[in-house]
């Protein structure tokens, strides 16, 4: 089923309007059949025949001329209550003949309603106010005012009994008449205090639709419920073969896409004027059945696909201007073709006149009246020019399943999503056009919904993955990076480029002298306690200066500066860390004494140079580390501290970068493993 049209939010409704309007423009207009004829009030009629409402005698003459041409059916869309009065003309005459009443033509519309206003009561109320004003301002004119008022009110007479009886006899003598009833829904319920004449006209509509399986079904409640029904001229209702409801409330959308064919009123279902006219033209009774989870509306072998609100999606590709039609003035003059086998519509609201209901826009971009919509709706139903809804699975769920599959499987690939999105859009437009030409309604809103929902799901997965990566990053580096560096890395994960990159860093190696001999003197538990005290103190020194711990190798520590967060002063940081470690060693010695060990001596080697930095390893197991000759050289320098019998040795590269701050002395030249020539080493 098509989703509830009136419950669609305006923003999404506009998306659907734009999409379907474009499809309408791409489909050719249909040829108009010759079995529909329109007799309507035009703007010229209001000039030639006078302001509305016309005397009933004129309406009778128009209908009489139409019936003489022996049409197949006649639908009359004039809503004229029993107390129809020719007030507007009389008011205009009274404004000139009775000047004391001061009936100004510019204010006449305030006392006349195009449908049901109790004009007589309103005029009397207005005249009472006018009399009160004269009593206060011009008492001498009061007698003349009363005389003019009495004479004027005598002119306000209902239509004559003879005119009404002539109308009744005329319509009762024609077998195929459809009359219009105005249906008032809960959204536009009339205020009876404002329109007292309506209470005299309210009644049950006639000719309900045959139904089956509807009464106890909840979907019955989704149809528009009418609170009031105001019928056509009451006395001629028995003359009609069928009566149809016209609801003037426009669609929520800015464009008219469909017409409501069914309405609820006092626990029964009644046809719209379009459906009633179709039943009259086919001489069939509409039948509504709830079957297979949907409505089936039929007139014998004609099936009409209505939605859950009793509406059908009309094909408006037939231009209204090409229908054969005549104005009321032409009909009165006898200028009429043969109407045999024609379905005639006599409508007041085909005019582009200020006294008629507002114009509405069709998907073709035309602005037409409510009466014209009735004709287009009837013509579409008669010729089967309406849209059939695409099954829910294909229209709603299949696009969603496909879209979700693509997003969930390939959401990491931005290029794939972009290409598939473009292809999906092209396919969406092509399918929409093909369906549209086949008169199958392809609603774009489910596609839009699934696109938004799929994007949201993809974003949620992406965000969850991002959080997972951050958590993994935090767990992986919180023990190796200083808090300041870790904060920057989490904020800018692009610093950890997958793979490796070459950059300049400073590497520091620190090792405990004779640790093997020391560990043989203690139990494994005692060795662990000693190492933990030592490593914690040394780690704090490294983190204090923004260094990164690469790994612990037994009692040895490997750290580097300048990665992953680039630090321009990384040589200074490394040397400062070494000095802090040597100073901290005294406090560590004191803690070791409490654990039963008096000896503690370390060696530190520092070297500055290029190394490969990055995530190195396999897909299942990798580490963020540094490799290269710089790392090996730093380790060899640390090993040389034993021969030099000093706690700290730095390379010439590190010394040359930091000698503006620290004072060095050369210890000597040392042959290091992997180096072809001896290199000078320095200490502070």
pLDDT (tens digit, 9 = 90+) per residue, 417-429?
A: 556 666 666 777 7
| Residue 495 in this model has a pLDDT that exceeds 60 | no
Res 358: pLDDT: 57
Average pLDDT over residues 460-467: 69
Lowest mean pLDDT among 64-78, 123-137, 326-340, 576-590: 123-137
Confidence of residue 253 (pLDDT cuts 50, 70, 90): low
Return the number of other C-beta atoms located less than 10 Å from residue 476's C-beta. 15
| Residue 159 in this model has a pLDDT that exceeds 80 | no
Confidence of residue 504 (pLDDT cuts 50, 70, 90): very high
Residue with the two structure tokens 């370390």: 602
Confidence of residue 345 (pLDDT cuts 50, 70, 90): very high
Lowest mean pLDDT among 132-141, 232-241, 377-386, 392-401: 392-401
Helices and strands per DSSP (H, E), number in the chain: 21, 27
Mapped onto helix, strand or coil, the DSSP state of residue 475 is helix
Confidence of residue 174 (pLDDT cuts 50, 70, 90): very high
Domain boundaries, the chain: 39-81+160-387, 87-155, 392-473, 478-683
Res 541: pLDDT: 94
Average pLDDT over residues 222-231: 78
User: How many angstroms separate the CA atoms of 191 and 194, rounded?
Assistant: 5
Mapped onto helix, strand or coil, the DSSP state of residue 341 is coil
| Residue 194 in this model has a pLDDT that exceeds 80 | no
Q: Which residues of 407-434 are buried (b: 16+ CB within 10 A; e: fewer)?
A: beeebeeeeebeebeeebeeebeebbee
| Residue 198 in this model has a pLDDT that exceeds 70 | no
| Residue 167 in this model has a pLDDT that exceeds 90 | no
Query: CA end-to-end span of the chain, whole Å?
Result: 85
Res 33: pLDDT: 66
Res 412: pLDDT: 55
Lowest mean pLDDT among 37-51, 440-454, 506-520, 595-609: 440-454
Range from 166-180, 233-247, 423-437, 478-492 that averages highest in pLDDT: 166-180
Lowest mean pLDDT among 292-296, 407-411, 435-439, 538-542: 407-411
Instruction: Tell me the H-state helices in 411-482.
Output: 414-437, 444-477
Res 469: pLDDT: 67
Token couple for 320: 């209204």
Q: Residue 653, by phi and psi: left (phi above 0), alpha (psi -120 to 50) or beta?
A: alpha
Q: Which residues of 516-553 are buried (b: 16+ CB within 10 A; e: fewer)?
A: eebbeeeeeeebebbbebbbebbbebbbebbbbbbeee
Average pLDDT over residues 597-617: 88
Res 203: pLDDT: 64
Q: When comparing pLDDT for 533 and 441, which is higher?
A: 533
- Is the domain defined by 478-683 classed in CATH 3.30.70.1230? yes
Confidence of residue 3 (pLDDT cuts 50, 70, 90): very low
Confidence of residue 82 (pLDDT cuts 50, 70, 90): very low
Backbone angles phi, psi at 553, to 5 degrees: -115, 85
Alpha-carbon torsion (568, 569, 570, 573), positive or negative: negative
Which residues on adjacent β-strands are paired with residue 389? 441
Q: When comparing pLDDT for 174 and 252, which is higher?
A: 174
Alpha-carbon torsion (374, 378, 379, 381), positive or negative: positive
Confidence of residue 251 (pLDDT cuts 50, 70, 90): very low
User: How many angstroms separate the CA atoms of 276 and 282, rounded?
Assistant: 10
Q: Which residues of 214-238 are buried (b: 16+ CB within 10 A; e: fewer)?
A: beeeebbebbbebebbbbbbbebbe
Confidence of residue 432 (pLDDT cuts 50, 70, 90): confident
Res 300: pLDDT: 83
pTM above 0.75, yes or no: no
Range from 220-229, 235-244, 445-454, 579-588 that averages highest in pLDDT: 579-588
Residue with the two structure tokens 């967060």: 565
Measured CA to CA in angstroms, residue 341 lies from 69, 140, 278, 327 at distances of 10, 67, 14, 20
Res 468: pLDDT: 73
Res 23: pLDDT: 78
Residues of the chain above pLDDT 90, percent = 27
| Residue 1 in this model has a pLDDT that exceeds 60 | no
Residues 6+ apart with CB under 8 A from 7: none
Q: Which of 348, 368, 346 shows the shortest CA–CA distance to 356? A: 348
Range from 189-193, 340-344, 396-400, 411-415 that averages highest in pLDDT: 340-344
Res 670: pLDDT: 93
| Residue 640 in this model has a pLDDT that exceeds 80 | yes
Confidence of residue 441 (pLDDT cuts 50, 70, 90): confident
Residue-averaged pLDDT of the chain: 78
User: How many angstroms separate the CA atoms of 268 and 210, rounded?
Assistant: 9
Listing from the earlier edge strand, what are the strands of the sheet with 302-304? 210-212, 287-291, 294-299, 302-304
Q: When comparing pLDDT for 196 and 339, which is higher?
A: 339
């Amino acid at each position: 089923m098509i989703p509830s049209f009136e419950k669609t939010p305006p923003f999404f409704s506009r998306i659907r309007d734009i999409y379907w309007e474009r499809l309408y423009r791409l489909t050719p207009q249909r040829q108009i059949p010759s079995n529909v004829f329109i007799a309507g009030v035009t703007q010229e009629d209001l000039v030639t025949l006078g302001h509305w409402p016309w005397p009933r005698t004129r309406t009778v003459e128009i209908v009489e001329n139409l019936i003489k041409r022996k049409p197949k059916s006649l639908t009359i869309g004039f809503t004229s209550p029993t107390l129809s009065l020719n007030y507007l003309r009389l008011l205009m005459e009274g404004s000139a003949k009775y000047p004391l009443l001061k009936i100004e033509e510019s204010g006449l519309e305030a006392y006349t309603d195009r449908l049901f206003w109790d004009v007589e009561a309103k005029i009397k109320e207005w005249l009472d106010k006018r009399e009160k004003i004269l009593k206060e301002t011009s008492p001498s004119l009061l007698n003349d005012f009363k005389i003019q008022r009495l004479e004027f009110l005598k002119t306000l007479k209902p239509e004559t009994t003879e005119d009404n009886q002539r109308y009744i006899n005329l319509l009762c003598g024609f077998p195929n008449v459809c009359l219009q009833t105005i249906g008032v829904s809960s959204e536009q319920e009339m205020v009876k205090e404002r329109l007292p004449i309506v209470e005299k006209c309210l009644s049950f509509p006639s000719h309900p639709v045959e139904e089956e399986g509807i009464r106890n079904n909840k979907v019955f409640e989704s149809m528009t419920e009418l609170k009031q029904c105001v019928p056509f001229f009451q006395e001629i209702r028995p003359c009609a073969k069928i009566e149809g409801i016209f609801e003037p409330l426009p669609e929520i959308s800015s464009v008219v896409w469909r017409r409501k064919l069914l309405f609820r009123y006092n626990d029964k279902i009644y046809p719209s004027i379009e459906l009633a006219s179709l039943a009259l033209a086919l001489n069939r009774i509409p039948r509504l059945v709830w079957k297979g989870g949907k409505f089936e509306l039929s007139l014998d072998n004609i099936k009409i696909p209505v939605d859950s609100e009793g509406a059908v999606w009309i094909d408006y590709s037939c231009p209204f201007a090409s229908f054969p039609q005549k104005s009321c003035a032409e009909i009165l003059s006898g200028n009429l073709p043969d109407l045999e086998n024609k379905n005639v519509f006599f409508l007041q609201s085909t005019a582009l006149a200020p006294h008629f209901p507002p114009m509405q826009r069709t998907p073709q971009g035309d602005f037409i009246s409510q009466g014209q919509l009735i004709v287009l709706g009837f013509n579409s139903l008669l010729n089967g020019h309406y849209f059939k809804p695409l099954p829910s699975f294909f229209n709603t769920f299949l696009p969603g399943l496909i879209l979700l599959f693509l997003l969930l499987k390939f959401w990491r690939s931005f290029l794939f999503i972009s290409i598939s999105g473009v292809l999906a859009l092209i396919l969406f437009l092509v399918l929409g056009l093909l369906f549209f030409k086949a008169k199958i309604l392809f609603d774009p809103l489910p596609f839009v919904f699934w696109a938004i929902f799929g994007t949201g799901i993809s974003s949620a997965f992406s965000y969850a993955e991002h959080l997972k990566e951050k958590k993994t990053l935090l767990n992986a580096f919180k023990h190796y990076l200083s808090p300041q560096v870790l904060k920057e890395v989490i904020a800018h994960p692009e610093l950890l480029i997958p793979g490796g990159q070459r950059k300049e860093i400073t590497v520091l190696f620190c090792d405990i002298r004779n640790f093997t001999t020391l560990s043989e003197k203690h139990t494994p538990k005692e060795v662990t306690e000693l190492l933990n005290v030592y490593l914690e103190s040394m780690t704090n020194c490294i983190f204090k200066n923004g260094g990164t711990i690469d790994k612990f190798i037994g009692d040895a520590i490997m750290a580097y500066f300048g990665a992953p967060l680039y630090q321009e002063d990384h040589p200074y940081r490394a040397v400062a860390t070494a000095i802090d470690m040597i100073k901290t060693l005294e406090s560590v010695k004191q803690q070791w004494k409490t654990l039963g060990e008096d000896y503690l001596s370390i060696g530190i080697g520092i070297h500055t140079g290029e190394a490969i930095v990055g995530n190195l390893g396999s897909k299942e197991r990798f580490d963020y580390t540094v490799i290269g000759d710089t790392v090996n050289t730093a380790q060899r320098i640390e090993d040389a501290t034993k021969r030099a019998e000093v706690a700290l040795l730095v390379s010439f590269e590190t010394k040359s970068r930091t000698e503006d701050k620290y004072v060095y002395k050369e210890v000597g030249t040392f042959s290091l493993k992997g180096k072809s020539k001896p290199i000078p080493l320095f200490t502070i």
